[in-house]
């Protein structure tokens, strides 16, 4: 069917993969105590467990702390079987008695220090790395995931804001203890969204973390009943260009589905071809194993939205998105060049996902951390995102903190670097300050 005929109410569900997979792994139990006496009912003692597999916690318990998020137990459980090379995944869960009340995924990765330095310093550090690679690549233990665009921290709905801050502090202290046990000196939180700062920023600063901006997340607001309302928000040039591309899309057929059965190799090939054209190298954070697509799509079933664009029967492009109640999260795209460019497949895919959101009353489309220039022309705004980090060393800790304050990971992308002062950012920080907690 052509793009104009795509029926978004008839997508194909596929059977969910078994969620009861088990893995032999140990549990490290770490008691963490905090003074929570300032409010009635606050928790005086939490126990944090390091889980080497999500099979060690039930889907219901995990997803209760991440209510409404498609990147929940099923997603991270699948990612654990398709982790990037050299990346070890695990999780921390805080318990109040036997009740899980807070959780966060963890990953450990070898990080290339020269990746985030200015050009002049990068060449010097790169030279050092060729002579002594261990001085340039260091082990980092981080909250979050290389396969998400936001650092997912979950809380049981019964917790008050103060109790959430206290539980988060317990998770942080447990990550510190885990780093000592694993001999890792660098701690981090990857991609903390702006709207979460009020809850956790004070806790992190108290514990010596430095905060720096990283790549923002392009986000499109779609509170519309028809695509013409969306198009009316674009510049006249962009609107005219999109309509021309859609009018000339006759050779492109579009399929919207939830399965990649039989085309897994094609999907991986197109993704790798597109990744090879990326302007910036983000090292291990760019790695998406071939197994990821099969594992995640099989695990999420009809929550995985796949758009397939073909030209004369040849797969020219695809996109994978994840569906929440009021948000679609665009994960990855792949294009076959030059075929995709010749037939405007990127824009056909874009409008297909926009139309899906509008047809289903979904008002937010998250479109990721790449190709900002094009996405801004298509109406996106940017959600600020942050990296927190600290080094545990008595000597290197202050040095890393001093140098780190000068870093701007967001300016690594050339699309952002050239227009840094005029970018349209969403204001999501209008919330009360976080409650004060005792220093560690």
Nearest to 294 by CA among 266, 253, 335, 327: 266
Strand partners, 390: 187
Half-sphere exposure of 278 (CA within 13 A, CB side): 20
Residue 40, pLDDT > 50, answer no
Confidence of residue 249 (pLDDT cuts 50, 70, 90): confident
Nearest to 288 by CA among 81, 88, 83, 77: 83
Integer Cα distance of 44 and 438 in angstroms: 13
Per-residue model confidence (pLDDT) at position 431: 41
Which CATH number applies to 27-216+385-422: 3.60.15.10, 3.40.50.970, 3.40.630.30, 3.10.129.10? 3.40.630.30
Q: Mean pLDDT across the stretch 29-53?
A: 59
Per-residue model confidence (pLDDT) at position 421: 61
Q: Mean pLDDT across the stretch 246-256?
A: 92
The sign of the CA dihedral 364, 367, 372, 378 is negative
Over residues 405-414, the pLDDT tens digits come to 667 777 777 7
Radius of gyration of the chain (CA): 22
Query: CA angle, corner 253, sides to 292 and 358, nearest 5?
Result: 75
Residue 383, pLDDT > 70, answer yes
Nearest to 37 by CA among 440, 439, 437: 437
pTM: 0.82
Residue 238, pLDDT > 70, answer yes
**Average pLDDT value over all residues in the chain:** 83
Per-residue model confidence (pLDDT) at position 419: 63
Per-residue model confidence (pLDDT) at position 25: 36
Over residues 323-377, the pLDDT tens digits come to 999 999 999 999 999 999 999 999 999 999 999 999 999 999 999 998 899 999 9
Residue 42, pLDDT > 50, answer no
Residue 38, pLDDT > 90, answer no
DSSP 8-state secondary structure symbol assigned to residue 2? B
The encoded tokens of residue 36 equal 């929570």
Q: Which long-range contacts (CB under 8 A, 24 or more apart) does 419-426 make?
A: 423/216, 423/376, 423/382, 424/376, 424/380, 424/381, 424/382, 425/216, 425/381, 425/382, 425/383, 425/384, 426/194, 426/219, 426/381, 426/382, 426/383, 426/384
Q: Mean pLDDT across the stretch 39-63?
A: 82
The CATH number of the structural domain formed by 3-15+218-382 is 3.40.630.30
Confidence of residue 180 (pLDDT cuts 50, 70, 90): very high
- Listed in order, strand segments (DSSP E) in 258-368 are 304-311, 314-323, 327-335, 364-368
Per-residue model confidence (pLDDT) at position 125: 45
Each domain of the chain, given as residue ranges in start order, spans 3-15+218-382, 27-216+385-422
Confidence of residue 281 (pLDDT cuts 50, 70, 90): low
Beta-carbon contacts of residue 430 (< 8 Å; ≥ 6 apart): none
Same fold, 3-15+218-382 and 27-216+385-422: yes
The encoded tokens of residue 112 equal 């290339």
């Amino acid at each position: 069917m052509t793009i104009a005929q795509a029926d978004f109410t008839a997508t194909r569900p596929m059977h969910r993969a078994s969620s009861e997979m088990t893995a032999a792994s140990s549990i490290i139990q770490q008691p963490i105590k905090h003074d929570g006496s300032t409010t009635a009912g606050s928790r005086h003692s939490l126990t944090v467990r390091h889980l080497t597999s999500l099979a060690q916690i039930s889907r219901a318990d995990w997803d209760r702390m991440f209510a409404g998020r498609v990147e929940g137990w099923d997603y991270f459980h699948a990612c654990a079987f398709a982790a990037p090379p050299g990346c070890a995944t695990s999780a921390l869960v805080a318990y109040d008695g036997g009740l899980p009340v807070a959780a966060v995924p963890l990953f450990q990765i070898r990080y290339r220090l020269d990746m985030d330095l200015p050009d002049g310093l990068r060449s010097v550090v790169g030279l050092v790395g060729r002579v002594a690679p261990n001085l340039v690549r260091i082990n980092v233990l981080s909250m979050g995931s290389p396969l998400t665009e936001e650092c997912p921290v979950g809380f049981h709905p019964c917790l008050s804001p103060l109790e959430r801050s206290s539980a988060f502090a317990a998770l942080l202290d447990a990550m510190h203890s885990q780093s000592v046990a694993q001999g890792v000196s660098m701690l981090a939180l990857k991609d903390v969204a702006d709207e979460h700062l009020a809850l956790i920023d004070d806790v992190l600063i108290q514990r010596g973390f430095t905060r720096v901006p990283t790549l923002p997340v392009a986000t499109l607001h779609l509170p519309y009943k028809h695509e013409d309302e969306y198009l009316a928000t674009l510049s006249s040039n962009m609107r005219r260009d999109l309509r021309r591309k859609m009018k000339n899309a006759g050779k492109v057929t579009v399929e919207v589905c939830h399965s990649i059965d039989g085309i897994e190799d094609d999907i991986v090939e197109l993704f790798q071809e597109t990744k090879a054209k990326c302007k910036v190298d983000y090292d291990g954070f760019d790695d998406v194993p071939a197994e990821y697509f099969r594992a995640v799509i099989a695990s999420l079933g009809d929550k995985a939205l796949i758009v397939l664009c073909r030209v004369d029967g040849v797969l020219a492009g695809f996109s994978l998105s994840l569906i929440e109640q009021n948000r679609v999260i665009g994960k990855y795209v792949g294009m076959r060049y030059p075929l995709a460019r010749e037939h405007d497949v990127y824009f056909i895919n874009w409008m297909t996902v926009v139309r899906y959101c509008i047809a289903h009353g979904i008002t937010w489309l998250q479109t990721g951390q790449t190709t900002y220039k094009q996405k801004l022309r298509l109406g996106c705004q940017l959600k600020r995102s942050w990296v927190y980090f600290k080094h545990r060393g008595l000597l290197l800790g202050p040095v890393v903190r001093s140098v780190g304050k000068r870093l701007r990971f967001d300016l690594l992308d050339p699309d952002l670097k050239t227009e840094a002062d005029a970018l349209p950012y969403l204001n999501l920080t209008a919330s009360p300050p976080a409650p004060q907690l005792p220093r560690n």
